Amino acid sequence: MKFYKYQGAGNDFVVIDDRAKTFPVSQAYIALLCHRRFGIGADGLMLLQADEQYDFRMVYFNADGSEGTMCGNGGRCLVRFAHDLGVIGDTTTFIAIDGEHEAAVTPERISLKMINVTGIDRQEQYDFMNTGSPHYVTYVEDLANYDVFNVGKNIRYGEPFGSKGGTNVNFVEVTGPQALAVRTYERGVEDETYACGTGVTACALSASLRLGFEKAIDVQVKGGALRIEFERTGNDTFENIYLIGPAVKVFEGEWKA
């Protein structure tokens, strides 16, 4: 089986051209492929499939082999993959688990349009919203030394989120005007990742609500720099949200089971 490895700001993925729909979907098999000791190693696995109504279909699996919700950096990497294959030109419309997405391709970056966001749950200590995946956003100091793994794990499995399938957990530090640093504990990976696209999207929208940040926010993650652009169209309603950043092919190879 031929596979490809892509990364977006350090968020890395095994990518498969599955337009023939021959990939043997199995949670144990996908978890093995994503394993960093016994497999290829990745935060998740994506299938690029053919679709009659769209340029392609994105199917995403978490590193534990479970089928995931939307992955923003994964979506950007799959757009790069589709462009590398010649499936798309410099613009595309594709379908994912959370609906239709548009994207634009340049050599330096992929700009991915995210779903509209509304119905944000604003609490004193955190904001909670769905940006294609569920995200908890809280603000901390000294982010570089924060215990993201243990605090994130407790929130992810604790109530009120644990009984509803859990949540991704984002820790945010304000670093300047229109600028944030973010670290994320991701469910399905069950660890901190180098970046989370739907997560930094949630953090940017939270910063708009809490801090009055507008239109474009630069976000530093462990794996590099991302940018969120958006329009705030109501008290907690956002449209024309774009996740922007690099997406790079790392290598390709063959897997012999």
Total count of residues recorded for the chain: 257
Matching fold, domains 2-114+247-254 and 121-244: yes
Mean of pLDDT values over 22-46: 97
The CA-atom distances, in angstroms, between 47 and each of 29, 59, 74, 132, 236 are: 14, 5, 10, 18, 33
168 touches 134 (CB < 8 A) = yes
How is domain 121-244 classified at the CATH fold level? Diaminopimelate Epimerase; Chain A, domain 1 (3.10.310)
The CA-atom distances, in angstroms, between 62 and each of 109, 190, 200 are: 24, 10, 18
**Coil vs helix vs strand at 96:** strand
**Coil vs helix vs strand at 210:** helix
Confidence category of residue 172, pLDDT binned at 50, 70, 90:
very high
Q: What is the pLDDT of residues 44-62, one digit of tens each?
A: 999 999 999 999 999 999 9
186 touches 199 (CB < 8 A) = yes
Q: What is the pLDDT of residues 108-149, one digit of tens each?
A: 999 999 999 999 999 999 999 999 999 999 999 999 999 999
- The catalytic position among 34, 77, 196, 203 is 196
- The catalytic position among 34, 71, 77, 203 is 71
Percent of the chain whose predicted confidence (pLDDT) is above 90: 97
Q: How many CB atoms lie under 10 A from the CB of residue 106?
A: 9
Closest CA relative to residue 182, chosen from 228, 250, 215, 132: 228
Q: What is the pLDDT of residues 8-17, one digit of tens each?
A: 999 999 999 9
Confidence category of residue 20, pLDDT binned at 50, 70, 90:
very high
**For residues 22, 26, 28 and 32, what is the CA-based torsion angle, rounded to 10 degrees?**
20
Q: Is 77 a catalytic residue?
A: no
Is the pLDDT at 102 greater than 90, yes or no? Answer: yes
pLDDT at 53: 97
Residue reference for tokens 């290829």: 40
pLDDT at 195: 97
pLDDT at 142: 97
Q: Where are the domains of the chain?
A: 2-114+247-254, 121-244
pLDDT at 175: 98
pLDDT at 160: 94
The structure tokens listed for 246 are 């690099």
Mean of pLDDT values over 188-196: 96
Q: Is 196 a catalytic residue?
A: yes
Provide the whole-model pTM.
0.95
**What's the whole-number average pLDDT of the chain?**
97
Cα distance between residue 43 and residue 213, in whole Å: 30
How is domain 2-114+247-254 classified at the CATH fold level? Diaminopimelate Epimerase; Chain A, domain 1 (3.10.310)
Is the pLDDT at 257 greater than 90, yes or no? Answer: no
